[in-house]
A = this chain, B = another copy of it.
């Protein structure tokens, strides 16, 4: 896909959300596709699929400190369109996001859904994953591993079950953080993998201490660091600055070769840092 990435002056299809300037506003645009059996389970409730489809895109807007303007949704019709419509309605109402349009298609086989979310940047500087500076502190919001535990507790109605089925995009937190951070992204594929990506994009070394990572189950800290779908915000900012939201310091940005130093060991994606797709 090199040619696809080359075609864009600034970025490929897998990077940060796009930022464009229109009439003095900065628009943030993001697209995510979910595939049945790959990103969502075969037997997932379509209401939860719809929720997740929108949530993952709103989470990308959150990481840019953007306020949602609307979404376009691509839906592959099935036997359970009412459930899909219900979940879609629930999340759009919960976050007060208009459904601007989209497409419905009919096909047999594995189902695919797409969402494009459009937001307005709320801060003069729109954060991305490239800005971490040596000396910055590294933080993550919330607790990691809830979605992992939630998948195991599926259907129980527990906090973890809800975290898995109905992830909450951190829009307000992202808007508070955007003017203050040097780099920010949402943790969709596991904290370690996304930290490694931010370190690479920033050409810095991220030194992280495992014990400092807020794990939903401390006995399973290793798994919690690698599991995806938590949609917390990972960010860096000047050491010592006060935080506008609750977050946990997990390490420090160092100069030196880009990479991830976990408890003194240099890790790479080949070490199974997280979820790759």
Contacts and interface: CB of A to CB of B under 8 A. Distances in A.
Contacts of A85: 1-4, 7
A124 interface: no
Interface string A1-36: 111100111011111011010111101011111010
This chain's copy number in the assembly: 2
Interface in A86-125: 86, 88-89, 92, 98-110, 112, 114, 116, 118, 120
A108 to B, nearest CB: 8
Interface string A22-55: 1111010111110101110000000000000000
Contacts of A33: 74, 76, 103, 105, 112, 114
How large, as a class, is the contact surface on chain A? Answer: 35 or more
A3 B105 contact: no
B3 A82 contact: yes
A216 interface: no
Contacts of A8: 98-101
Given A7-B92, A22-B120, A29-B116, 11 more contacts: A1-B77, A2-B85, A13-B75, A13-B102, A23-B23, A30-B72, A33-B114, A35-B105, A35-B107, A106-B277, A112-B112
Interface of A: 1-4, 7-9, 11-15, 17-18, 20, 22-25, 27, 29-33, 35, 37-39, 69-70, 72-77, 81-82, 84-86, 88-89, 92, 98-110, 112, 114, 116, 118, 120, 277
